[in-house]
Chains A and B, each alone.
Chain A
Amino acid sequence: DVKVTQSSRYLVKRTGEKVFLECVQDMDHENMFWYRQDPGLGLRLIYFSYDVKMKEKGDIPEGYSVSREKKERFSLILESASTNQTSMYLCASSFTQGEAFFGQGTRLTVV
């Protein structure tokens, strides 16, 4: 069974804090993705990575950065959290041209 694990299910952070969201997959997938999901807006891609140390911006990268130092791990960083970054964050991984497998999600609240 493919497993994509996100480090936290729920997080509460203060405005201005640096926030790290971690994601680990155990299927040796090349691709890893970070999405955020908001009511009425669907899944929006923040960043994706197709190889170690490689990254590409998605549709809404502003205010975020990512790190992929090892193939199994993809981190999303909020440099200075703001209230408009309150959202559900979903990590996913896939083989090239294959279906994506999602983590359980992290519900982040910025106060």
Chain B
Amino acid sequence: GQNIDQPTEMTATEGAIVQINCTYQTSGFNGLFWYQQHAGEAPTFLSYNVLDGLEEKGRFSSFLSRSKGYSYLLLKELQMKDSASYLCALLDRGSTLGRLYFGRGTQLTVWP
């Protein structure tokens, strides 16, 4: 399996920038996903990193460093609707099954 670690909770204010970190210990993986999950709803896909570096998608960016074993999700210009749980997930390597290993999620609260 994979050992994935994320902070349990974070808080920030509207308009600010927040960085959610994800560290992992694994023998190998194909890529790293970030998902957003609002309370009582299903997770929705945010971003995917295969290679090292930054992937930008509007207010959201995700970074991966395989050599350092970590990723982060950067949220800019925070809005109240960004209050949600953010899940980091590794896509299994050497497998055609597409199995995802999820971290326990980081609950982000955005205050006005």
Contacts and interface: CB of A to CB of B under 8 A. Distances in A.
Interface of A: 30-31, 33, 35, 40-43, 45, 48, 50, 56, 59, 90, 94-105
Contacts of A100: 33, 45, 98, 100
A48 B102 CA distance: 14
Interface stretch (B15-23, B36-44, B56-64, B66-74): B36-44
B104 A42 contact: yes
B105 A42 contact: yes
How many interface residues does chain B have, given as a range? 20 to 34
Given A59-B1, A103-B42, A104-B41, A98 B103 contact: no
Given A42-B87, A43-B87, A97 B30 contact: yes
A99 B87 CA distance: 13
Given A97-B30, A100-B45, 9 more contacts: A33-B100, A42-B103, A43-B105, A48-B99, A50-B96, A97-B31, A98-B98, A102-B42, A105-B42
B75 interface: no
A90 B42 contact: yes
